Every structure is written in C-alpha cells, then in structure tokens.
Structure 1
Amino acid sequence: MDKITLGTRNVSIEFPGVKALSNVDFEIETGVIHALMGANGAGKSTLMKVLAGSNPGYTGDVLYNGNPVELRNPAAAKKLGIQIVYQEVDMALIPTLTVAENVMFNDLVMNMGHKQFVNYGKIRKDAKEALARLNVNIDVRRMCGTLTLAQKQMVLIARAVQSACNFLILDEPTAPLSDTETEELFRVVRHLRKTENLAVIFITHRIHEVLQICDSYTVMRNGEIVDTTPITPKTTSKEIVDKMLGRSFEENFPKQVCEIGEKAFEIDHLTEREGRVQDISMYVRKGEIVGLAGLVGGGKTELCKTIFGVYKKSDGIIRLNGKELNIKTPSDAVKNRIALVPEERRKEGVLVAETVTFNTTAASLDDYCTFSFVNDRKAAKKAEEYVKSLSIKTPSIKQKVAYLSGGNQQKVAVAKWLAADCDVYIFDEPTKGVDVGAKQEIFTLINNIAKEGNCVIYATCENSELLSITDRMYVMFDGRITAELETAKTSEDEIMHYATGATTVYTG
C-alpha cells in the first residue's frame, strides 16, 4: 500500500499568556503506531488538535504528503482522513441514541436538511460493517448510555474508521480501561494497522504500554519537540521519562514518614443501596494514608462515592472522631469535613468553565463572603497562595480551568478542598492522565496532607502507586473487601491475588 504522510513545519500557537507550540516540525506516515509523550502542558494535545482542525489559530504549515494544507476546522481534517478520539468519550457520544446512530453520526449530521427521511436499516447495516472492521461485536440497537467505557471507545473508533480514516489520534485511550479492556484496544489497533494501513497516534503517559504497542515515539517539552525515536528492545521507560522531564528521574517515590495517631475515621458494615458496595468495614488513623486497591469495576469508586453521599447507603455506620455521621448528600459530607477528589475531574472535580479563583474557593465560599457578597480581593489572594504553594501552572488566576493541563486541573481540584480545611481526604485515581512529574508533585501534596494529621484514603488501580505512598491498604473485588494488607509487607503479586477475587490465603 502507498504511504501517506502527515506533518507540520514551523507550527506555533499561542494562548493568552502561554506559547503552547513553538516552531514544531513533526511527521508521521501511515502503517505505524506512534506515541506522543510529554509532561502535562508540553503541547501534545495542542499539536494533535492542530492536525484535527480544532486549533485554527496556528502559524506555520500543516503538510499532507509534503504539500501545505489548511486545517482550520474539523471538517477540513476529516476530509483528509484525520480523526481524533478524545479522552472524555462521554462528551462525544449521545447516550440517548443507539450505537448505530452514534457510529453513523457524522453521516446523519451531513445529511440533515438534504433528506426528509432517514433510512435506519442502512444506518444499522453500515454501523455493523464499521464495527466488523474492528472485529468488535456490539448490538447496534443498544442505547449508548448503557455501554461500558471500553465499548463507548470502540463506538467512537468505529465512527472514525467508517469515514475513510488514514490517521487516527487517540487521546489517553487506556486511562479509563481495565487491563483486559486495554488488551482488547491494542488488538483493535494492531488489526487496523494491518488491515487498513492506518497511522495511529497515541497521546499517553503510560510508558509500559508505549513499549508494548508502539513502533516509535516523539517526546515534547515546553511546546517543542525534544526527540523522535524508534522503539527497540533496548528502549527503557527511564530513558523516555528522562527526555520528558529534561532531567534524571527516580522512578520510586520515597514515602515520607508521617506520625500516625489514633483511629479517627471508621466505617462499619457499609452497604450501598444498589449493591455496588457491600458490607464494608475499615478504618483510617490520623496521619495515615490508606489505599483502596483493586481492578477497574472492583468497587473502589463506588465506595468513595458512597462515603461522600453521592450514592445512598442502605446500611452501615460512618464515624469521625467517635461521632456517628448522618451523610445523605455530598453537602452533608462537606459539612462533616470530608473531601472527595473524584476520578472524573473534568466532570465532577472542577468547573472547567470557571476560573482558577472560582474553583479554589468553591468549597469554602462562606470564608470569602460578607453578607451575601463575595469579597473578590480576599478570594483572589487565597487563589494566588494556592497557585504558588501547589506550583499550579497557569498564566493567571483568572484563567479558565478548561485551558489548564490535566495535572494542573488536578491540583486545582485539591486546592479547593485544602481551602475548605477538611479532616478526611478521599482521592479517587488522583494521577489518572497525569504525567510523571506532576505525579510526584501530587504525591508530595498528599503526604503533606497526611503530615497535618488528616486521614487520607487513596483509591487507584496502579499497584505501584499504592506501594509507594500508602501505609496500609484494603483490596476490593466485586464491591467487597477481600484483604487488608500492610504496605511494607506486601507486593504487587499479593495485591493482584486478592484483586481477582481469590479466597485462598496468598502464599507467594
């Protein structure tokens, strides 16, 4: 098959106060799987949005087969076979439409106004064919709102390939997926490269996956391309991380010693109304970081949300400092000095359309109000303090959070609760979509919260993180706790043993 190339020449783009790309030269050809890597804010997503037609304000040239083309809107990019699947798959799908309608959505929109009637038989037939090209079997009559995240991702990839796709850009595609779902995605990607001669560009922070699936990688730093290199058996994760950070990186986070006090936060036989969490008993001491381990779907997020009042409990008791709490809503949790930094930060953790100042003071507005008026100067001063102390990279406290990198959005979400001065901090997948440099900063931040004598619950699928930052952990499977482990005396193998539902004692 003939190769097609896509690239940029001297492409630059500026946002208010930030030069996001600086004279970037980039090229990829069809038939390869290529990773685009870099710290949060390095320019990865900005560059890909230029290629996808979503960043029209660029200077320089986009090249298609060596010839300059204008990509000032997504339609222009799609005509050249350039498709992008963003990390927030729910934002790109309409849950009340069927799988078939979502797969064929572009065709439906293009035909609006030209045809009076929609041939739903043909829509379903074409959608089935698109999914068959991925070797994926999903009932095209199902409503998209009933699908798993992995299935939704396949629907979006099917939408892309049915539109004569040559270049498929996947933005953090494995972030919400389990190991099994990730393997299925990799199978689809390899299948597309082989049968469709696509170029697939991965924007990702998961270096072990890059080494597993990609042919080559490009590293960006501060809006510039640092290096483009083929992946060989000698390529190491440390080599890639060093290029991303511009310095040597120590892979294991050194756990800081915190003085652990008495039991402060206790849960007895907690059960969620819909059965997503069943008979959970656990405790956290002052100054202690307790992990929630388990695979995707094991019940970690559901437990966090039940504690915080998002999900309703049908049974069980929650106590803080010996006092029984009556938590029916998130508002009740906040009043009782419990904070939740949720997994889906853009949907639940921050208000992306609001400023850094608004977000950092949102959970403690009473502190900045005089009667019914917000003291803007006082709120701005507090926001400046957190921007400085948490090293939040933003051109201004007036910047909308939507324009910050993932790691900086996460820091804003944490700052909101620091300002509220809570006793219990629950972190659900706090490093999801965050680069290794920002990950270290978040670890330091969480350690400092524990040092203040607060209780910390840290939920994640990343066992290496649990082994780095926690003191103890509870392993979950199918909404229940299967083991309580002391971090210093356990291993990834033992965690996985109980995370897969084993009822036998781990013997090594």
Structure 2
Amino acid sequence: MSEVVLEMKKISKSFGKVTALKNGELVVHKGEIHALLGANGAGKSTLMKILSGVYRQDQGEILINHEKATFQHPSDAKEKGIFCVYQEVDTAIVPQLTVAENIMLDRFSQEKGWYFSRKDLHRQAQEALTLLEVNDIELNQAASNLSLAKKQLVLIARALVQTTKVIIFDEPTAPLSHIEAEKLFHVIRQLRVKGIGCIFITHRLPEVFAIADVVTVMRDGCRISTVPIAQITQEMVIEQMLGEVWHEERNVMHSYKRGEEVLALKNINLGKLQNISLNVYEGEVVGIAGLVGAGKTELAKTIFGNTPATSGEIRVSGKKIQVKHPKTAIACGITHIPEERRKEGLFINETISKNVTFPQLKKYVKGGFINRKAERKATEEVISTLQVKANDVDVEVNHLSGGNQQKIVIGKWLSSEAKVYLFDEPTKGVDIGAKREILKLIQQLAKEGKAILYFSSEIQELLTVCHRVLVMYDGKIVKEFTQKEATQEKILLYASGGKEVNHEGPIDRISI
C-alpha cells in the first residue's frame, strides 16, 4: 500500500437547518484513483468543497501528508496541492481571457512580481495541452469562443500545470465525447504513475469500473463503505447509494395512441444546423441522439428562441410562429430545460420559491404586491411532487444538490400552459435515483398529452424513455428509429457518422 496523501476525518457541515455532512470521511493514497460515489444530496460535493477551500467544516480535520491543514480560501487548498476540476465549467473559466491565460490563471496568483513572460506562459500552457493530446485549441483565442467540451479540457490543463498532490475530478466527462473521455482517462492514468492522488466523482458507473482503484460510497452525509474496485459490483454500488435493492427499469414508455401534431420544424438552418425537419405529437417523447458537437444543444436553443434560425419554419399546433426570443416561445407554450442548469436554468443565489414562481410571476402579483402565501403554496407543491430534498421553500438553490437543482429547473414549468418540453441532457450530473424520478416525470408529462423533445448523448436513456429516436450527426438529422427499431449499436453507428450496410444487413462497427 502506498503512503497516505490525504485524510478527511469526521467532517461535519450544516447550512442552516440542512445537515449536509455527518462525520464524512475519506482517505486517498499517493498515486491512487479514488472514486467518490453517492446519490445527489449524499454529501460528495460538500465534502469536496471543504477539501478545496470553498467551505469550512463545522467539525473534523483534514490531514495532508499527515500534517493538519486548515483552509480559509481556495488559494489555501491550492498551496497545499489540492486542485479541483469542477463539473460546471463556466463557473471556473474567465471568458475574456485567452486560453493560455486561463490555463495559467493560478500561476498568476502565485507569482510575486507584476510582469510575466508571455513566451513562458504559452510554453507551459502548450505543454499541458500536449499532455492532454489536444492540438486543436488556439492559445491566443478568447476562452468564450470555446465549446463546452474544450472549456473542460482547458480546466484540466490548468490543473496539470500545478504542483499538485490531489486532483478532484468532479463529473469531468459530462461535457466530453467518448473519444475525449478516453483521452482524459489516459491522462488520469498518467497522473497515477506520477504519484498524484485523483478523486474521481461521476454518476456514470461504467467509468468507475474502467478507471478507479478504490471506491468510497456516501449516503445521507456519511461514508457507507470504502473498498477496492475488485471487491465491488455495480449492483452493490447502487444498493449502497440508494439504501435499497435496485431494479433497473427498461422500456418505461409503452405504446401510445398518437394525438394531434404539436410541434413541427421544416428546413431549419442556423450555423451548423442544416435543413432540420421533424414533428412531435401529443403524448409523444421524441429523442434527439448525438455525440458532443452534433448540434443537439444548438437545435434546442433555436427552437426556444435563444438563437433564432436564419431560415426555415416552426409551427405549434399547426400555427406558424416567429421565434426570435424565448419570451415568444414561452407565450406559444414552449419550455426549455437547458443543459447548463446553473448558468441558464436557475437564479442560483435566489430561493427555491423565487425560482419556481418566476416564469408565472404575474399569477402571484396583485395590486403591485406578491402574494407570498400563494407563492409558498405553489412552491411546496413542486417540492412535494418532485420529491425535492429541502427543508424550506426559502433555501437558496445554490445549497441544493445537482439533482435537486435539476428538479427545480423542471418544476418551475409544471404550472405553466406548456405544450412542448425541450429537455437538453436533463440527467447530466444526476445520480441514478434522481434520474429514475426525472424519467418517470417525463412519462407523466407524456400521459398528460405534452409533446417532448429529449436531447441526450446517453443512448440507454433514449431507449428507455423515447417513442422515436432521431439521430444527429454534424448538424443534420441522419436517421430516424421507432422504439422497436432502435438499439444502442444502431444509434451509436449513425451518431458517429456510419451507416448500415444495405440498411438490412450486419452493422459496420465503428470504434469510437
């Protein structure tokens, strides 16, 4: 057994009446890839924010190389060799700075002088990108121009230029393609060889069993178990996370009687989107499958009016509409649950109540005053319906887990006159229990006659929840499958640019 580089002992943390951690514990050895797992609300993120200096624990202690460490600020943690690559990349990227400047950002704060060698800055930034095997990111461009996947790679490169003892990877593959994720795994394995301890947080269990040496499972703010990866199975992990035996649900969406057409797109064009045409009917869930960069998010934002189409036609219930702004889309009954919930779906520092009631604020205003009683009642109904873990409607959503934040993003539209729901990667960063609840909610919305577009790169989810699946590749819809026709292999084939031989014979396998 290698030497212990990090110990967290009996860590406790509360936010008002909400207890996030109760005697949380974690031990990481030098050169170890340690998976930290748990359902949303289990305490993982709080434990890691304490380790990275964002929060201070109420009780407990942190030892780095057997020496007690106290963190008042994230810079204190970095000085001790603790670095975190967060799930929400836009909270850590400075959009106005260049790629090179973002990679070297922490070095700036460590330098004592006022002047920096741009040549050295570029050299070190390029070395970090080279280690990631990234050769298509221009160092001088503004970080705001990067895709979500490339911003994530910049953050990881920032970690690689530090002298670190432990790197926390918080859902690092969420915005990455399969190829990019494999590259990341290669880099993490190289870090292990160099003796750096890696804490790997993910809700994708196959990734855990592909890369981790040790697994710690948390539930309700406590450590449930810590075992070598060879001594645990996926089923055991899920049962420990949920505290109950897990039965995977398949084919949640059954056959249905097609209703009237609700949403129709005809030859939509914008940027990479090319001649997109589709229809969605009452009570139908249509999946939009595609790998990172296929154009799924761009299509969702175009329908919602964030980026209006340059040409083409959108119809809702047979009526042609001009969607030039989200306000128009909402008025026509279109709602959007965005991929980046913290950035685009929530007022992150406001209360649950303000987030839930904001889209229909006029309903709660009379004589220029907000009816707080009605607002509270509506919020409590959403909390109850979606089983949001929160002690009060006035809790700031920033203190909720990722899964509960996602429920608030969805819940704020439940009392609206919505006809069309656009779900863009709705289970991103969500644990398996919350994922099940979200899929059941979508099933219920479909039963109520809502038309749903489900944008996702998670193929198994599409097979579970969708009546039809449309596959996108390079900004185009290249294939449509019925629920009976769709398989993981076929969807992945078309999503990666392949085709079936004669459309009937064996599938041409593509390694991605």
Please give the TM-score of this superposition, normalised by the length of structure 1.
0.94
> What does the per-residue CA deviation read over 1:362-400, in whole Å, with 9 as the maximum and x for residues that have no partner?
111121121433222211111111111111111210011
SS in 2 for 1:422: coil
- How far off its partner does 1:331 sit? 0.5
Which residue number in structure 2 is paired with residue 149 of structure 1? 148
* Identity across the alignment (%): 42
Unaligned residue ranges in structure 2 (runs of 5+): 507-512
> What does the per-residue CA deviation read over 1:327-346, in whole Å, with 9 as the maximum and x for residues that have no partner?
11111000001111111111
> What does the per-residue CA deviation read over 1:402-458, in whole Å, with 9 as the maximum and x for residues that have no partner?
111111111111111112131111111110000000001001111111111111111
Which residue number in structure 1 is paired with residue 202 of structure 2? 204
Distance in 2 of aligned mates of 1:247 and 1:403 = 26
SS in 2 for 1:163: coil
User: Quick one: which amino acid aligns to residue 490 of structure 1?
Assistant: A
Which residue number in structure 1 is paired with residue 241 of structure 2? 244
- The answer as to whether partners of 2:166 and 2:197 remain within 8 angstroms in 1 is yes
Which residue number in structure 2 is paired with residue 88 of structure 1? 88
Distance in 2 of aligned mates of 1:415 and 1:24 = 31
User: Quick one: which amino acid aligns to residue 274 of structure 2?
Assistant: Q
- The answer as to whether partners of 1:474 and 1:484 remain within 8 angstroms in 2 is yes
Alignment CA distance shift 1:266-1:387 (3 Å): closer
Distance in 2 of aligned mates of 1:270 and 1:361 = 35
Which residue number in structure 2 is paired with residue 215 of structure 1? 213
Q: Write the mapping of 1:345-364 to structure 2, written as runs, cut at 5 A.
A: 345-364=341-360
The equivalent position to 1:482 in structure 2, one of 478, 496, 509, is: 478
> What does the per-residue CA deviation read over 1:214-249, in whole Å, with 9 as the maximum and x for residues that have no partner?
1111000000000111112x7432221111111111
Alignment CA distance shift 1:139-1:259 (3 Å): closer
Q: Write the mapping of 1:189-338 to structure 2, written as runs, cut at 5 A.
A: 189-194=188-193, 196-232=194-230, 235-257=232-254, 259-274=256-271, 276-338=272-334
- The answer as to whether partners of 2:94 and 2:102 remain within 8 angstroms in 1 is yes
Which residue number in structure 2 is paired with residue 457 of structure 1? 453
Alignment CA distance shift 1:257-1:134 (3 Å): closer
Unaligned residue ranges in structure 1 (runs of 5+): none
Alignment CA distance shift 1:223-1:506 (3 Å): farther
SS in 1 for 2:156: helix
Distance in 2 of aligned mates of 1:391 and 1:258 = 27
- How far off its partner does 1:499 sit? 1.3
Which residue number in structure 1 is paired with residue 509 of structure 2? none
Moved more, 371-380 or 333-342: 371-380
Which residue number in structure 2 is paired with residue 46 of structure 1? 46
Distance in 2 of aligned mates of 1:132 and 1:268 = 42
- Does residue 61 of structure 1 match 2:41? no
Alignment CA distance shift 1:381-1:449 (3 Å): same
Please give the TM-score of this superposition, normalised by the length of structure 2.
0.94
Distance in 1 of aligned mates of 2:148 and 2:491 = 24
- The answer as to whether partners of 1:83 and 1:169 remain within 8 angstroms in 2 is yes
Which residue number in structure 2 is paired with residue 367 of structure 1? 363
Alignment CA distance shift 1:476-1:166 (3 Å): same
- How far off its partner does 1:66 sit? 2.9
- The answer as to whether partners of 2:5 and 2:197 remain within 8 angstroms in 1 is no
Distance in 1 of aligned mates of 2:105 and 2:379 = 42
Q: Write the mapping of 1:115-126 to structure 2, written as runs, cut at 5 A.
A: 115-126=113-124
- How far off its partner does 1:506 sit? 5.4
User: Quick one: which amino acid aligns to residue 329 of structure 1?
Assistant: H
Which residue number in structure 1 is paired with residue 125 of structure 2? 127
- How far off its partner does 1:143 sit? 2.7
Q: Write the mapping of 1:66-81 to structure 2, written as runs, cut at 5 A.
A: 66-81=66-81
Which residue number in structure 2 is paired with residue 389 of structure 1? 385
- The answer as to whether partners of 1:35 and 1:218 remain within 8 angstroms in 2 is yes
> What does the per-residue CA deviation read over 1:9-45, in whole Å, with 9 as the maximum and x for residues that have no partner?
2111111121111112321111111100000010001
- The answer as to whether partners of 1:288 and 1:450 remain within 8 angstroms in 2 is yes
Which residue number in structure 2 is paired with residue 161 of structure 1? 160
- How far off its partner does 1:152 sit? 2.6
- How far off its partner does 1:254 sit? 4.8
SS in 1 for 2:381: helix
SS in 2 for 1:340: strand
Q: What's the Cα RMSD here?
A: 1.9
Which residue number in structure 2 is paired with residue 496 of structure 1? 492
Alignment CA distance shift 1:187-1:321 (3 Å): same
> What does the per-residue CA deviation read over 1:25-71, in whole Å, with 9 as the maximum and x for residues that have no partner?
32111111110000001000111111112211331111223332222
- The answer as to whether partners of 2:284 and 2:452 remain within 8 angstroms in 1 is yes
Which residue number in structure 1 is paired with residue 339 of structure 2? 343
Moved more, 418-427 or 151-160: 151-160
